[in-house]
Amino acid sequence: MFKTKQIEIALQEALVVYRDKRLLLACSGGIDSVVLAHVLNKYNHDFGIAHMNYGLRGKESQRDEEFVADLARELGVEFYVKRAKLNTSKSIQEEARTLRYDWFFELRRQYKYDYVATAHHVDDSLEGMIMSVFSGATISRLAGITDRENLVRPFQYCTKEQLLQYAKDYKLSYREDSSNRNNEYLRNYVRNKVLTDIEEQIPNTKARLLHSLGYFKQLNELTIAYRKHLEKTIVRSRSNCQAYAINGIVELHPLSLHLRLLFEPFGFADFSTIEHLLVAENGKEILSATYRLVKFEEELLLGKIDSLKPRLRANFRDVLPRDIAQSQVVYTLEVRDSIAAASTLEVRLWNSEDSIKLKGQDKTKKVSKYLRDLKIDPITKSSVQILLSEDRLVAILGFAIDADFSPLSTDSSKVIKIWHE
């Protein structure tokens, strides 16, 4: 029981920083997440439990779901479950991971949890470290599992052996996933075969790997600290992107290594292309899976691809719908009273066919030319939205109201409020 007490003390200390936070525990029903649920409950943390059922193992998957539901009921916490089907023509593990984390973070936002918590531990980090060597190592991958934004791993410094001991001493029930014995999955092969065989050939392999893991974690922390230091001197934050000063980048040596340091965290892998982008013409860009990097004037602009299409709604009412907070309002427009209150309002991204009549002009002007004349950077320009009433352009949001809708001094006016969905 002494070992268990040591584990409890370590876990309690790891959880102190989350004492006043609401945690959403991702729980498969396996030993790791069951132990974490037990510890969170024991120390009176505010948490809920989420379980995703892919149905891949038939009745076994259903029994896992029932087990986790019973666990949540026993602990008196909120329980969330989702049943999802996977496209088995793709990488099942990768698709499953994407689906469940997207859902976990959706629940976190919807139900106001501060963090999603998982029960990953040191052995998971060791397996990941070895897998990254086979598939292309980076310092961040070699460093194993750590906390991330809105995602915490309280067990990241505990071993599987410690969790097994804790579960044994407290006589905890848990589920065993039969697919964990399937060595067709790389992680299972590393866990069940590679590490076991190496340990037989080279005693104390695990201890040596733990030493290496600790070194890589420290090196990763140093790398992150250096990147933050660089960013303070060459990066400016804007409303929808980060602007990297090219004259600051080109002074860094070796250049290719610094480009990797700066842009690898955003999913970029071809750093010679980024080097060419430094001297490219305005508007040239390259994409990663989730980010775009654009050359504009003397800067590289980094923006999230999914941030280019914010969803907005609009209406004439002075009083917002009950579920909309005043802080969600992003634009308030005053328009002519001649716009019928019953007209349909629509907000969408502008396109090449859109035109606007500017104040003092008789003819309309293409929105594309208007934005070009303002020298709007490509990332900002891509996210500009327009307001339409019965398919007529009323305003370029954040820039101009069409002259036909702009109120005159002799007119009474209406107020349109626009908010994030």
CA distance 1 to 4: 5
Tell me how far CA of residue 263 lies from CA of 158, 238, 272, in angstroms. 31, 17, 12
If you average pLDDT over residues 290-309, what whole number do you get? 85
**Considering the domain boundaries, does residue 107 fall inside one?**
yes
Q: Of the candidates 289, 307, 325, which is a domain's last residue?
A: 307
Domain ends where: 287, 307, 327? 307
Comparing 62-66, 278-282, 325-329, the range with the smallest average pLDDT is: 325-329
Q: What percent of the chain has pLDDT over 70?
A: 92
Asked whether residue 110 falls in the same domain as residue 253, the answer is no
Is the distance from CB of 279 to CB of 271 less than 8 angstroms?
no
User: Which residues lie closer than 8 Å to 20 by C-beta, 6 or more apart?
Assistant: none
Residue 226 lies in a domain: no
Number of domains in the chain: 3
Q: How many CB atoms lie within 10 A of CB 361?
A: 10
Is 302's pLDDT higher than 90? yes
pLDDT digit string (tens) for 356-389? 999 888 899 999 999 989 988 888 888 889 999 8
Q: Are 277 and 394 in a shared domain? A: no
Phi, psi (deg, nearest 5) at residue 317? -70, 140
Q: For residues 324 and 302, what is the distance between their CA atoms, to the nearest angstrom? A: 30
Q: What is the mean pLDDT of residues 144-150?
A: 84
Evaluate if residue 326 carries a pLDDT over 90: no
Q: Would the pLDDT of 2 be above 60?
A: no
pLDDT category at 410 given cuts 50, 70, 90 is: low
- 16: domain CATH number is 3.40.50.620
Compute the distance between CA of residue 136 and CA of residue 134 in angstroms, rounded to an integer: 6
**Torsion angle (degrees, nearest 10) of CA 133, 138, 143, 145:** -90
Strands (E), 258-411: 285-287, 291-296, 299-304, 312-315, 329-336, 345-349, 355-357, 364-366, 385-389, 392-396, 400-401
Residues 11 and 132 in one domain: yes
Question: Do 344 and 300 sit in the same domain of this protein?
Answer: no
Task: Calculate the average pLDDT of the chain.
Answer: 86
CB burial class (10 A; 0-12, 13-18, 19+) of residue 114?
middle
Q: Which two tokens stand for residue 120?
A: 């990953």
The predicted pLDDT at position 417 comes to 81
In a domain, 233, yes or no: no
Q: What pLDDT is attached to residue 280?
A: 94
Model pLDDT, residue 176: 86
Confidence at residue 82, expressed as pLDDT on a 0 to 100 scale = 94
* Amino acid present at 39: V
User: Is residue 23 pLDDT above 90, yes or no?
Assistant: yes
| Strands 355-357, 291-296: pairing kind | unpaired
Angle (CA) 99 101 102, round 5°: 65
For the cut 90, the answer to whether the pLDDT of residue 137 exceeds it is no
Query: What DSSP assignment string belongs to 211-268?
Result: HHHHHHHHHHHHHHHHHHHHHHHHEEE-SS-EEEEHHHHTTSSSHHHHHHHHHGGGT-
Residues 406 and 337 reside in one and the same domain = yes
Question: Minimum mean pLDDT among 88-92, 139-143, 190-194: which range?
Answer: 88-92
Burial class (CB in 10 A: 0-12, 13-18, 19+), 223: middle
Residues 81 and 158 in one domain: yes
Yes or no: say if 104 and 73 are a contact pair by the CB < 8 Å rule. Answer: no
The enclosing domain of 243 has a CATH number of: 3.30.465
Instruction: Provide the whole-model pTM.
Output: 0.67
The verdict on 320 and 378 lying in the same domain is yes
Provide the β-strand partners of residue 126: none
Rounded distance between C-alpha atoms, residue 76 and residue 74, angstroms: 5
Of 94 and 73, the structure prediction assigns the larger pLDDT to 73
Instruction: Please give the residue range of the domain that contains residue 263.
Output: 238-307
pLDDT in tens, 219-271: 999 999 999 999 999 999 987 889 999 999 999 999 999 999 999 989 898 99
- What is each CA distance from 41 to 36, 48, 75, 229, 411, in whole angstroms? 8, 10, 7, 40, 63
